Structures are given as C-alpha cells and as structure tokens.
Amino acid sequence: MKSNQALNTLFLYNSIFVFANNLLGPLYAVYIQKFDINVMSISLVWATFIFFTTVFTFLLSKIGDRIKEKENFLMAGYLIRSIAWFIYIFANSIPHIILIQIILALGEAFGSPSFDAIFAQHIDKKFSMSEYSSWRIILNFSMVLSTIIGGFIVYKLGFTILFLSVSLLSLFCFFGVLTKPRDLL
C-alpha cells in the first residue's frame, strides 16, 4: 500500500483530537456528580447532547455537500468543541452543563461528518479495508492511552487541568489543519 499523505494528515490531527476527547471519557460521570444530581438528570444531560448532535447534523447536511473544502467544517468542529471544553471549567449548574452539551453537539455535527467525508474522499478503493482498519487501530489505541492519562490528570491535578488540556489539544488540531496546504485535504 502506498503512503497517502492526505489520510496520514487526517489521521494525525483526528487521533490527537480523539485522544483529547477521551481524556474525559468515563470520567464525565464522576465530574457531573459534583452537581449533586440523580441518575435521570445525568441521562438527560447526555440525551441532550445526542439529540442536538442529531438536529445539528441534519441541518448541516443540507449545506455540507455544497461546501468545497470540507476541512473548514472539520476545523469548525475542533474549534467549537475546544471552546465548549474550556467553558466546562466555569460550569456551576446543570443548566450550564446542558448549554455546554448543546455547544459540543454543534461541534460534533460540524466535525464528525466532515472527517468521514474527507476520509471517504481520500481513501484508496483498492486498500479500503486496510485504510479503515488503520484508522480503527489508531483510534482504539488513542482511546486506551487517553483514558488512562485522563484518570491520572484528574487524580493528580483535577478536572480544571483536564478540561484545559482537552481544550488546548483540540485547538492544536484546529491550527494544525488550518496551517496545512488547502490542496492536502
């Protein structure tokens, strides 16, 4: 299989993003308990994210195919989620958390479909199984490592440092894609 520079670049930045996202991973349930809420409230917060991700994805799908440079949507996804994770540092109530979940949902709606579209655009049909497998392997290793590191960060430094780390890594991905030549992705 030949080297695919576009996929390598996409894999690099999105694996860093997935790493950042999964620093929080299962610790989210621990974080949200500080608001002294019940299990149904926690479910409602998560359902809010899924619902608004679906709504925003539907709305953005109406214009997404008209956008020539899908990396602009990918960058928007990184940037919006970076802002949302930073705002988590200041959250002090469930309404704040719900608002942040809606912002994260917007970022997800921009980011995930655009990643998939860019991936599909650059995949070599003769090697589609190995290219998809490569991404899954990178994705899984990134999630394993980040889940452990996220736990360590919270244990030693707390959630503020964790949210700051997630936000900065996502911002790094935004600038990484922004500074790449437009013809690469």
Centroid of chain to Cα 179: 19
Q: What is the pLDDT of residues 87-113, one digit of tens each?
A: 999 999 989 999 999 999 999 999 999
Average pLDDT, the chain: 91
- Tell me how far the alpha carbon of residue 35 is from its chain's centroid: 24
pLDDT at 70 exceeding the cut of 60: yes
Cα–Cα nearest to 13, from 139, 158, 147, 140: 139
pTM for the whole structure: 0.91
Confidence of residue 1 (pLDDT cuts 50, 70, 90): very low
The structure tokens 């650059």 sit at: 122
Scored b (16 or more CB within 10 A) or e, 20-38 reads: bbbbbeebeeebbeeeeee
Please, what are the domains in the chain? 5-178 (1.20.1250.20)
